[in-house]
Structure 1
Amino acid sequence: MSLEGVGQELPGETAPNAPGRQSDQAFSQIHHAIVRCELAPGETITEASLAERFGLKRAAARAAVDRLSVMGLLAPVRRRGYLVKPITLRDVNDLYQLREVIESAAVRLAAGHVNEDHLRRLARVCTAGYEPGDPESIARFLQANTEFHLVIASAAGNERMVNVLAQILNEMERLFHFGLPRRDRTAELRERHQAMIDALAAGDADTAERINREGLARSKAMVVDALMSTDAMLDVSIGGEAVRR
């Protein structure tokens, strides 16, 4: 899930060419690029470079940068511009830990309570796949994957749980765009998703929770592997010593 729809005008509000609308479009474009890691984690950018890259007016780029800074996706760097929020091991650990807590409860509550509509929707998105080098196919896969997990949460019958999980998945989207391009996990994920559907339909809460935990562990390992392979992690101080891979 992404925030690309944030700032869309309502009928009769801002005209398409008005400054407010331009800043919304600028926000959408830059946010999109950050989430998809087209603007790489840890990359330094400027308002001028963003304006040139996305064909924006400087005022629109500045307004978008201000919003993204408030969100924590950009951080001002004195005399250099802005730093795209790095992806840290703390980010990965915190988000996966929180997701495991929420989804473990969700799958247990959903087991035995999935109806025909839930099963039909799960079966439809279960077949989604992606091409590792194709950002658009990855984005489509992530949309389907998000729907898969939110349908399960909705079967648990707790709307607040659905909303919390949606926010967690939204925050994790950049992690997935960072890790998924490195290898094709389509077959593995299809098999796991089908096994989850079978367990939920059978009312087998223990198996559903086990499948979920195993899936999260593999997903986390994928992201950590991608993170540890980046230049930013080649020189890391541990106990005062530089570790070089």
Structure 2
Amino acid sequence: MMNDLTLKKIDLEREPIARQVTRALRQAIVSMQLLPGEMLSEQELARRFGVSRSPVREALIKLSEAGLVRVLPQRGTQVVKISRAGVEDARFIREAVECAVVREAALKATPVMISELSASLTRQRRAQRSLSTEDFLALDEEFHRLLAETAGRPSAWRMVEDIKPQMDRVRFLDMTKAVPRHAVIAQHAVIVDAIKSRDPAAAEAAMRHHMSEILRSLPELAGQHPDLFEPEAVMSPEVLSA
């Protein structure tokens, strides 16, 4: 899909070039513009961005550290296929962080922040049919970021951002069938209601349910798109009989 990839020219005045390239490539991978298994060319990416190869190389190193690409000696850089184990690990960590976040949010929420969360829900409801999957997921991210801000833990969201790209690729694959938008919004509403009620236990329970959705959809999506997923490891008979 390299020929179909369209990326905006870099705005040199906003922030360092390499950071912009990293963000743009990360989004292209998450949104499946760059498919799992696809080979990437530094030279071609540099041409499309209108930059030198140096910031592209730096961006690919960052993405390699994030587990989204791998460098193949003598061959180039490849978008990593989706690992079910990696998705499950990321979900485990994210659930732990976000459950702690909503417990604190239920205890610390100010009227202003509750109003912000309610406004975010309104934006999601208005956009559930009109926006692209990518844009709707941006509203989902906004909601979770607001939860961290409500809890007074903005750094918690930055931690989540670092671990969730594998989850995001799965969620992007088929939001309509796997986790319909109306279901996502309904789950968000339950979380907000618990925060409004100052009920940390209910907020945590609602978040755990919300985070568990991907475990139900993951096997189905892996079955529908086997070419996008890493093959699951098969245990040897010796290990199985141990």
TM-score of the aligned structures, taking structure 2 as reference length = 0.74
The corresponding residue for 1:39 is 34
1:1-245 to structure 2, matched below 5 A, reads 26-51=21-46, 54=48, 56=50, 60-61=52-53, 63-72=55-64, 73-127=68-122, 128=124, 129-130=127-128, 137-157=132-152, 159=153, 162-173=154-165, 175-184=167-176, 185-232=180-227, 233=229, 236-240=232-236
Alpha-carbon distance in 2 for matches of 1:203, 1:87: 38
The residue identity in structure 2 corresponding to 1:178 is V
**CA distance change for structure 1 residues 235 and 92 in 2, over 3 Å: closer, same or farther?**
closer
Q: Is the 8 A contact 2:94 2:164 kept in 1?
A: no
Alpha-carbon distance in 1 for matches of 2:175, 2:53: 34
Q: Is the 8 A contact 2:22 2:59 kept in 1?
A: yes
> What stretches of structure 2 of length at least 5 have no aligned partner?
1-6, 238-242
The one of the two structures with greater contact order (alpha-carbon pairs below 8 A, sep at least 6) is 2
1:61: Cα distance to partner?
3.9
- Report how many aligned residue pairs link the two structures: 219
1:111 partner SS: helix
Identity %: 21
Q: Is the 8 A contact 2:32 2:169 kept in 1?
A: yes
Q: Is the 8 A contact 1:74 1:83 kept in 2?
A: yes
1:238 partner SS: coil
Alpha-carbon distance in 2 for matches of 1:212, 1:26: 33
The corresponding residue for 1:17 is none
Q: Is the 8 A contact 2:91 2:167 kept in 1?
A: no
TM-score of the aligned structures, taking structure 1 as reference length = 0.73
1:214: Cα distance to partner?
0.6
| Larger helix percent | 2
1:82 partner SS: strand
After superposition, the CA RMSD in angstroms is: 3.3
1:96: Cα distance to partner?
1.0
Alpha-carbon distance in 1 for matches of 2:216, 2:189: 21
Q: Is the 8 A contact 1:27 1:65 kept in 2?
A: no
Question: Which stretch of the first structure deviates more once superposed, 82-91 or 228-237?
Answer: 228-237
